[in-house]
Amino acid sequence: MNPLLELEAVSKTFTRGGLLSRRTVEAVKSVSFRLEDGKPEIFAVIGESGSGKSTLARMILGMHRPSGGRLRFEGKDVAALTAAERPTFMAKVQPIFQNPFEAFNPLKKLDFYLFMTARRFGGAASQDGAEQASDVALRQVGLTLDEIRGRFPHELSGGQLQRVAIARALVSKPRLILADEPVSMVDASLRMSIVNLFGELRDRLGLSIIYITHDLATAYYIADRLIIMRKGEVVEEGPAREVLTHPKHPYSQQLRAAVLTPDALSPPPQPTI
């Protein structure tokens, strides 16, 4: 099987300071994994802030060039894409961001984003085509164009807005979606609807999703495989349920132990006064 996305010892170093005070920060150190073509899955990247997971996401999106290693999408090196190949790549790899309220300009209508993506990346030649492509994408997330047309971001709830963000990513018919902490800003009653939607997109549309999170419980719930990152390095990888049920690396065990669950209600310590 051909890989859809293949990372081979990918690393990223940031340099700051001048000639004399040069300091380098290794944000991502030699990360390797691959997602197979024709085998859609939800691949979770888990780690605390500063573990390099967002830098990894930016490299996969082609926004940063890796300092070392190879990053290939459909067999092509992402860093070596020509200007002509880039729009096709961008159509196939789409991001979803953490805070839907910040992802959209509050002064622009939401349909503007959908139509724009349809025209630039979705191959829509006319306004009619763009509207149709947007409606198809919105229906895949449980909305319709009639509900969204002419609305501004503040008129929708966080959960609805995140659905629109997902629909926007779907307009260009991507093969891979990068979701960076997509539910951490969404209300509790709507969170599971977004997470379940990812499962549906994988099963129905055959999309692969890279789900970046620090929430182990949702990763257990929805992910097929995962990697756990710490300080730029992958410390553990494997099938999501197995790794989270029996973590082997000390750091994974520490993460697992820090998960608060309603079942683990510890009896309150006796008051001292």
Binding site for another protein (CB under 8 A): 48-49, 157-160, 187-193, 195-196, 214-218, 220-221, 241, 244-245, 254-266, 268-273
Instruction: Give, in order, the Cα–Cα distances in Å from 262 to each of 74, 78, 87, 215.
Output: 43, 44, 46, 15
Min CB(190)–another protein separation in Å: 6
Total count of residues recorded for the chain: 273
Q: Which is nearer to another protein, 77 or 101 (CB)?
A: 101
**What b/e string do you get for 126-147 counting C-beta neighbours within 10 Å, with b at 16 or more?**
eeeebbebbbbbbebbebebee
Q: Which is nearer to another protein, 7 or 228 (CB)?
A: 228
Q: Which is nearer to another protein, 18 or 269 (CB)?
A: 269
Extract the tokens encoding 171. 């307009």
Rounded CA separation 26/169 (Å): 30
Min CB(216)–another protein separation in Å: 6
The structure tokens 């990152």 sit at 229
User: Could you tell me which of 272, 226, 271 has the C-alpha nearest to residue 252?
Assistant: 226
Min CB(259)–another protein separation in Å: 6
Min CB(68)–another protein separation in Å: 27
Min CB(142)–another protein separation in Å: 10
Q: Which is nearer to another protein, 116 or 192 (CB)?
A: 192
Q: Which is nearer to another protein, 134 or 160 (CB)?
A: 160
